Amino acid sequence: MKTRLLGKTPEELTQIALEVGLPAFAGKQMAQWLYQKRIRSIDQMSNLSKQGREALVQRYEVGMIEPIDVQTSKDGTRKYLFPFEGLDYEAVMIPDEDRKTLCVSSQAGCKMACKFCMTGRQGFHGNLDAADILSQYFAVEEAGELTNTVFMGMGEPLDNWDQVKRVIEVLTAPWGLAWSPKRITLSTIGVLPKLKIFLDECKCHLAVSLHNPFPEERAQMMPVQKAWSETEIIRLLKQYDFTGQRRVSFEYTVFHGWNDTPSHARELIRLLSHLECRVNLIRFHRIPDFPYGPAEQKDMEAFRDLLTEGGITATIRASRGEDIFAACGLLAGKHKE
Condensed to tens digits (0 to 9), the pLDDT of residues 246-276 reads 999 999 999 999 999 999 999 999 999 999 9
Average pLDDT, the chain: 93
Q: What is the pLDDT of residue 311?
A: 97
Is residue 182 scored above 70 in pLDDT?
A: yes
| Marked catalytic residue, from 90, 156, 230, 251 | 90
Question: CA 30 to CA 48: how far, in whole Å?
Answer: 8
Confidence (pTM): 0.94
Burial class (CB in 10 A: 0-12, 13-18, 19+), 229: middle
Report the range of poorest mean pLDDT among 28-42, 137-151, 196-210, 281-295.
281-295
Contacts of 223 (CB under 8 A, 6+ apart): 112, 113, 114
Question: Has 322 been annotated as catalytic?
Answer: no
Residue 216 confidence (pLDDT) above 80: yes
Question: pLDDT: is 76 or 319 the higher one?
Answer: 76
Distance CA 253, CA 187 (A): 14
Say if strands 124-127 and 107-109 run parallel, antiparallel, or are unpaired: antiparallel
Catalytic: which of 114, 216, 328, 337?
Answer: 328
Q: Average pLDDT of 227-231? A: 96
> Which has more pLDDT, 85 or 173?
173
Annotate 169-212 with DSSP letters as a single string.
HHHHSTTTT---GGGEEEEES--HHHHHHHHHH--SEEEEE---
163 against 121, higher pLDDT: 163
pLDDT at 16: 98
334: phi then psi, degrees, rounded to nearest 5: -120, 150
Q: Which pLDDT tens digit goes with each residue over 145-177?
A: 999 999 999 999 999 999 999 999 999 999 999
Confidence at residue 332, expressed as pLDDT on a 0 to 100 scale: 61
Q: Categorize the per-residue pLDDT at 287 as very low, low, confident or very high, splitting at 50, 70 and 90.
A: confident
Pairing mode, if any, of strands 60-61 and 3-4? parallel
Taking residue 188's Cβ as centre, other Cβ atoms within 10 Å add up to 25
Percent of the chain at pLDDT > 90 equals 86
Position 201 confidence tier, pLDDT thresholds 50, 70, 90 = very high
d(CA 127, CA 148): 23
**Looking at residue 288, what is its pLDDT?**
82
Contacts of 5 by beta carbon, 8 Å cutoff, 6+ apart: 13, 16, 30, 34, 42, 60, 61, 62, 63
169 contacts: CB under 8 Å, gap ≥ 6? 9, 176
Under 8 Å between Cβ of 36 and 50:
no
pLDDT tops 70 at residue 321: no
pLDDT at 285: 84
Q: Give the three-state DSSP class for 322.
A: helix
Measured in degrees and rounded to the nearest 5, phi and psi for residue 81 equal -110, 130
Which residues are CB-contacts of 298 (< 8 A; sequence separation ≥ 6)?
A: none
Distance (Å) of CA 26 to CA 17, 30, 31, 68, 309: 6, 6, 9, 32, 59
Q: What is the pLDDT of residue 286?
A: 82
90 noted as active-site residue: yes
Please, which pLDDT band fits residue 87 given cuts at 50, 70 and 90? Answer: confident
Q: Cβ(79)–Cβ(321) under 8 Å?
A: yes
